[in-house]
Chain A
Amino acid sequence: MKFPVFRISLIATASMLPISLILLIIFLVIYSWPAIEYNQFHFLWTNDWNLGNLYGNPVEVDGHQVMPGAKYGIWFLVVGTLASSVLAMLMAMPIAIGAAYFLSEGIRKSWSGPLSLFVDLLAAVPSVVYGLWGYALLVPLFGKTIFPFLANTFSFIPFINGSPGSGYGLLTSAFVLAVMIIPLISATLRESIQMIEPALKEAGLSLGLNRLEVFWHIILPKLKKVLIGVGILALGRALGETMAVLMVSGNALNYLPGNIYAPISTMAAFIASQLDSALQDPTNMAVEALSEIALVLLLITVLVNISARFILWMEKVR
């Protein structure tokens, strides 16, 4: 038999995708190993990120050279990341469902093409431009008018009352993230709405339901798993978002948000903003601790993505 050169070269190039994913994890584990040993597991749920006295002499703790007083705990990052992403997903889901219905069923077919393009373009806007928009338009607007108004009106609800802050914070980040993920959710939903067999819709219509009721009682329950899958996928996207969050989150350090207006920081934004100061550490432990954050973030997003893809695969959605 002839040696299948072409087939082999195809396989070789195609295998670069999984190899690069595995290499990412391996490199991160190797590089952050000293930090993992030094920080152990309380890294995740203690709340003090302190590079220590950078002008002192390195001391040896547990066999590792660190700066005196250096401690690494990222509980505030875990809280900030999860809170902003989950809040963003909760805000995005109803709007995305509404927009998907509007674009696929609510208007004439000849209009839905150009209007969907509009939503697709929104998905393509670079994240740093979202950040700029948040910084220049949303932060002043939210900080001066909307947050004080919300805090006053809903002063009886916990987490919504309290100090309205400066505009940088959890709710602003969640809002920007929501605007970023709505197009993603609604694009997938639109496709799967169109994949539903028309007989189901017709059956509903023939029973006297109007189109919205068909959507609510027949299409949405049918798409339950797709909804969950897409939601988790969008959550994964929001968890890893860097630039937009970096510019509107307020970059809190060692601070747990007391209400939804409080400044936060997320893992991705923290990695981007802290590397410069971590490089000041002559023992390199700070850079390795940052790489441990990157590892934690990578593992979380990989887990989230795997579960979302599994759900979507079972539903035959790309």
Chain B
Amino acid sequence: MKKFISFLLAAIFLIPTLTVSADTPYQGYTYNFWGTLVPSPAAYVPVRSFGIDELRCGTACGLHSGNACTLDTHIALGGLSTPTDLHVDSRDNLYIVDSGNNRIIVFDIELNLVHVIDGYYQNGEWVENALKTPGGVFVTDDGFIYIADEYNYRILILDEDLNYVRQIDAPESDELADDFEFLPFQVLVDRGGRVFAIVRRVYEGIMSFDMEGNFLGYYGTINVSVNMVDYMWSLIMPRRQRNSVLPREFKSMDIDQYGFVFTTHVENWHLNNQISRLNPRGEDVLVNLNDNVVINGDQGWRDTGQLSGHSVFSDVVARSHGRYSAICTIRGRVFTYDTEGNLLYVFGGPGTLQGMVNSPVSIEVMGEDIFVLDAQGRGRIVQYMPTEYGTLINDAIKMRYDGEEQYAVEKWRELVKLDENFALAWSGIGRSYLAAGDNETAMEYLSHGMDIRYYSVAFRRYRLDEMQGILPVILSGGLLLFVALTAINIFRKIKNKGATAE
């Protein structure tokens, strides 16, 4: 163990010189088993950081839009104004919701302008300025565009040619208050065609609608549980404060390849997960196999001053193979977790340097590249690309997810060369040894990775093997001893009998 520790220490100091120099404005890090921050190579590097007004207009410019793109060089789009959402559709088009300018800007994969959605065609007529502070956008696989048109109190549905299809208005239900205002700011459609909307000032859960736009009920509702301390406080709180204590408030959502919905939500207490994965029935099925570690980003933070407080996730994106990345709005960092709830890598940071973000609002993934939307000023989009290190982690996790642990081992071995602090790699190698039946080596690697659960399994098998080696010796020895003792006993008895007989 001591050797390993000195090795670790050496690794910490040597890493900056060993890794391929990737110029990042931030330091990659991860948390070890004990919750201590340890440096790691950067898993992702910023490759591009651009404002909308800096983009060149391509051939597809202004295809369906009624206005905006008439120049064929620099677009007269202007900057963004309080952008709120990024979305990537199945054809890798990038949708930017420019909320303050009441429009949605669409780029293709080469960042050529495709549309500026600030209106739609209705019966062949172009309706101008139809949006009012849209909050979110979602595009289904068959090309329908769902827009959370917040201050028009509706969810607008357009087809891919921007023809008006229908809209979902404020639901009429006895459940809702009389002064209820329908202000949807995030929208999502699941495989069954159900429409989910996060609505402002609705704390019961995510509102869900059927395909015709009928209100189905709340989705992802939580069981409100009151603990002793909360109850004591509520006894002495003034009524006004008591009424202002809110349950979980959803902030954003994304759907993964299985149709499960990832959400981020504000938690009053930092010891709860800030991300949930909701199954079609709306139950949280997020897996976290790590004891005592919750999925809420940083495990240590300053309490006062700049950049203080626990991480607050403003958006989450579901990635392939069970991975998900979330962006912390306080410190601009992207946290990526695997399907078991292990923290894979952390990158990004706060600031005005290229590749840093100040008030990130949304995160999206295109292939393995990650896009972060920074709402500050005129708005910027930062594109991050995986480094060799990040690619290794991604590949290894994918292989593990697909059950190809034997191929993942090579990746883990390379990872250990790059970063001795990466516990998952150690335990990955250990698990492969365990599968191969080499329990003793497995124990060593698993203990390096602090993978107690699997270490215990390896240990039990090792113990069994050892016992099987030793037990025959002990048992046969015991048997011999027993036989010898009885023999002596009998011998004595006979002797004694002989003596008494005499």
* B is bound to A: no
Interface residues of A (CB under 8 A from B): none
Interface residues of B (CB under 8 A from A): none
